[in-house]
């Protein structure tokens, strides 16, 4: 069991933690397990079992769940391992204990795999890092492993795994193409948010998003689907969707969570529910071979898939639910290192290349042009000048952001000033910060400046001459600064959570920053505590 492989000791925090190739291997193993389970073939089932009473699997559900919790519990019991459960109602979390302290303690009691459901987004990613360091400091036998069983509105990767397995099962195991309709509360539904990246397992993807604007898929996930090459179409209701001819043969429904949206929405709940609830009158417009799915449970009074459809060929949700336990059995087996040693990846993981986002201009070889001075700005003999700030933005926005830059760089205590100029280009404004005195910025300070004012130019001046000139661009990552903060109040790194988790951001393709924990997208103006008071 301890033989290492590419799966052993891994955590699953978001669906992208497993590559497409790794997921296809997992699904192939699930096919074998499911067949053995249906045949009750103990000989074929045995290789999947961890079969170690000292191997600790811990369920920690800090948010209500029956289906996911019981699915994981039964999957864990299959393994003949030590299965424990933390009662959230009387747990240390209610006494103000940090997540890291709690799970470090449980890790020290020979528990290896933790299955966590929480309203706090990104908590498993944080624990993966914090508890790995704890295990190394204390020479634990095994590094703790974390499975995200749903975190806030963020992701639900194990639900995504069982959904993908069921889609493949209904596609005769082909991942060539998928045409899927997502219906219901696409705003709150983490199961559909996971599909923005998860459906990349299929080579061609068409997604039809069916929801009224109040329940529409958040723009960040729609944009990610488009970036991933999906064909995305948007409809306000099932009725509108069925008026056009290109209707998907696979529909995925979610339960509307209108109770989260206040009185104004509740007053219109009948209208909103009707737009995403399948009705008997729609049946003639559904083509033969169509399958419906639902992560369950359905709302008992107003289900989006009414119970009259249970005993019809449309019912794929019951088999989908059963598949959940099979998928989770295999996932636990892989992360424990029981199976997976025969998997040799053909795809090489992309290595992020280092990027020099701070470029120093070679002043020796630079052609000296006639010196231009912006109106209202007098040259300084010694000091620094930050030029080209927010070039093209409105003057009021430039002024506001220059105050943030000055604060972030610690320049507020020094004499000097800020200026908005057109610099000879009429109607195109830019900001200039100048500070007389003696200044030298180290690499860390330059990184701060590049993150808060990408596109700017920094000039260090001595005796009336520019001694150093830097052009700054958005860094690929920004972290280890105490004044960074994710704006998502549900994120584990948000100051309001009180966990002391330092914020960390990665640059996206469209030059924004995404939180490393909750995946919320920010502009470079939004990641600073000072700018969000």
For residue 449 the two structure tokens come to: 């400046």
The number of helix segments (H) and strand segments (E) in the chain equals: 15, 19
Q: Rounded to an integer, what is the distance from CA 10 to the centroid of its chain?
A: 17
* Residue 372 in this model has a pLDDT that exceeds 60: no
* Cα gap 58→146, rounded to integer Å: 10
Q: Decide if 468 contacts 360 (C-beta within 8 A).
A: yes
State pLDDT tens for residues 459-505.
999 998 999 999 999 999 999 999 999 999 999 999 999 999 999 99
| Amino acid 3: pLDDT | 46
Does the pLDDT of residue 1 top 50, yes or no? no
Domain with CATH 3.40.50.1370 in the chain: 15-156+325-335, 175-306
Task: Convert the pLDDT of each residue in 407-465 to its tens digit.
Answer: 999 998 888 999 998 866 678 999 999 999 988 889 999 999 999 999 999 999 999 89
Stretch (H or E) spanning 234: strand 231-235
Instruction: Reply yes or no: is the peptide bond before residue 344 cis, omega within 30 of 0.
Output: no
- Whether CATH 3.20.20.140 fits 175-306: no
Residue 327 to residue 338: CA distance in whole angstroms: 15
Integer distance in angstroms from the first to the last C-alpha of the chain?
A: 52
**414 token code pair:** 């020094």
pLDDT band at 530 (very low <50, low <70, confident <90, very high): confident
Report, as an integer, the average pLDDT of 70-92.
87
As annotated, the residues of the chain forming the CATH 3.30.70.140 domain(s) are 358-475
HSE-CB for 125 with a 13 A CA cutoff:
25
Q: Could you tell me if 128 and 157 are in contact, meaning their C-beta atoms sit under 8 angstroms apart?
A: no
Structure tokens at 32: 């074998």
**Cβ-count burial of 405 within 10 angstroms (0-12 exposed, 13-18 middle, 19+ buried)?**
buried
Distances 148 to 9, 115, 211, 273, 332 between C-alpha atoms, Å: 15, 6, 26, 29, 12
CA angle 366, 370, 375 (to 5 degrees): 120
Which CATH code of 3.40.50.720, 3.30.70.100, 3.40.50.620, 3.40.50.1370 fits the domain covering 15-156+325-335?
Answer: 3.40.50.1370
User: If DSSP codes are grouped into helix, strand and coil, which group holds residue 514?
Assistant: strand
Give the per-residue pLDDT at 268.
Answer: 75
Residue 430: φ, ψ to 5°: -150, 160
Q: What is the CATH number of domain 358-475?
A: 3.30.70.140
Report CA Rg, the chain: 27
Query: 383: left (phi > 0), else alpha (psi -120 to 50), else beta?
Result: left
Q: What pLDDT was estimated at residue 374? A: 54
Chain mean position to CA 3 = 31
Range scoring the smallest mean pLDDT among 134-148, 159-173, 342-356: 342-356
* Per-residue confidence band for 141, with pLDDT thresholds at 50, 70 and 90: confident
Query: For the whole model, what pTM was predicted?
Result: 0.89
**pLDDT tens by residue, 100-121:** 999 999 999 999 999 999 999 9
């Amino acid at each position: 069991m301890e033989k290492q492989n590419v799966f052993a000791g891994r955590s699953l925090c978001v669906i992208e933690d497993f590559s497409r190739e790794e997921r296809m291997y997992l699904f192939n193993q699930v096919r074998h397990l499911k067949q053995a389970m249906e045949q009750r073939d103990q000989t074929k089932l045995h290789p999947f079992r961890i079969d170690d009473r000292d191997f600790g699997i811990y369920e920690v559900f800090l948010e209500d769940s029956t289906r996911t919790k019981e699915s994981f519990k039964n999957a864990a019991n299959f393994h003949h391992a030590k299965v424990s459960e933390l009662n959230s109602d009387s747990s240390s979390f209610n006494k103000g204990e940090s997540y890291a302290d709690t799970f470090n303690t449980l890790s020290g009691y020979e528990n290896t795999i933790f299955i966590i459901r929480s309203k706090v987004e990104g908590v498993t990613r944080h624990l993966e890092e914090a508890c790995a360091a704890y295990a190394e400091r204390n020479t634990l036998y095994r590094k703790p492993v974390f499975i995200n069983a749903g975190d806030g509105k963020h992701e639900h990767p194990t639900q995504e795994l069982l959904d993908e397995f069921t889609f493949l099962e209904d596609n005769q195991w082909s991942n060539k193409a998928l045409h899927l309709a997502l219906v219901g509360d696409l705003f709150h539904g983490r199961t559909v948010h996971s599909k923005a990246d998860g459906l990349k397992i299929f080579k061609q993807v068409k997604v039809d998003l069916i929801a009224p604007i109040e329940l529409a898929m958040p723009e960040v996930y729609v944009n990610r689907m488009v970036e991933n090459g999906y064909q995305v179409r948007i409809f306000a209701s099932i009725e509108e969707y069925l008026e056009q001819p290109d209707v998907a043969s696979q529909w995925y429904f979610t339960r509307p969570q209108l109770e989260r949206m206040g009185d104004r929405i509740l007053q219109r709940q009948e209208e909103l529910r009707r737009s995403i609830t399948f009705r008997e009158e729609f049946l003639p417009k559904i083509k033969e071979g169509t399958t419906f799915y639902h992560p369950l449970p359905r709302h008992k009074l107003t289900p989006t898939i009414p119970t009259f459809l249970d005993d019809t060929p449309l019912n794929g949700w019951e088999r989908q639910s059963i598949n959940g336990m099979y998928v989770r059995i295999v996932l636990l087996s892989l992360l424990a290192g029981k199976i997976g040693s025969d998997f040799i990846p053909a795809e090489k993981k992309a290595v992020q290349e280092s990027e020099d986002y701070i470029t120093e201009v070679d002043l020796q070889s630079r052609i000296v042009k006639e010196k231009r001075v912006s109106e209202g700005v007098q040259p300084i003999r010694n000091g620094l000048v930050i030029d080209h700030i927010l070039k093209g933005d409105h003057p009021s926005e430039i002024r506001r952001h220059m105050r943030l830059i000055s604060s972030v760089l610690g320049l507020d205590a020094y004499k000097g000033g800020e200026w908005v100029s057109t610099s000879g280009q009429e109607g195109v404004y830019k900001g200039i910060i100048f500070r007389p005195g003696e200044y030298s910025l180290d690499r860390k300070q330059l990184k701060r400046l590049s993150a808060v004012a990408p596109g700017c130019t920094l000039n260090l001046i001595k005796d009336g001459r520019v001694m150093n000139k830097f052009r700054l661009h958005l860094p690929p990552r920004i972290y280890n600064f105490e004044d960074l903060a994710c704006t998502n109040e549900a994120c584990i790194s948000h100051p309001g959570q009180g966990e002391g988790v330092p914020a960390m951001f990665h640059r996206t393709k469209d030059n924004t920053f995404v939180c490393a924990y909750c995946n919320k997208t920010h502009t470079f103006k939004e990641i600073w505590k000072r700018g969000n008071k």
